[in-house]
Amino acid sequence: KKGLRDKAMLELMYATGVKITELLNLNIYDINLKFNYIKCRGSKKRERIIPIGSYAIKCLKNYLEVRPAINVYNLDYLFLNLKGTQMTRQGFWKIIKFYAKEASIDKEIDSYTLRHSFAVHLLQNGADIKSVQELLGHKDLAATQIYSSISKKSKIAEVYKNAHPRA
**In tens digits, what is the pLDDT along the chain, a chain of 167 residues?**
899 999 999 999 999 999 999 999 999 999 999 999 999 998 777 899 999 999 999 999 999 999 999 999 999 999 999 999 999 999 999 999 999 999 999 999 988 999 999 999 999 899 999 999 999 999 888 888 888 777 777 778 788 788 888 88
| Contact of 87 with 79, CB cutoff 8 Å | yes
Residue whose C-alpha is closest to residue 82's, from 93, 72, 74, 94: 72
Structural domains of the chain, with CATH: 1-106 (1.10.443.10), 110-167 (no CATH)
Cite the active site residues.
44, 115, 138, 147
pLDDT at 31: 98
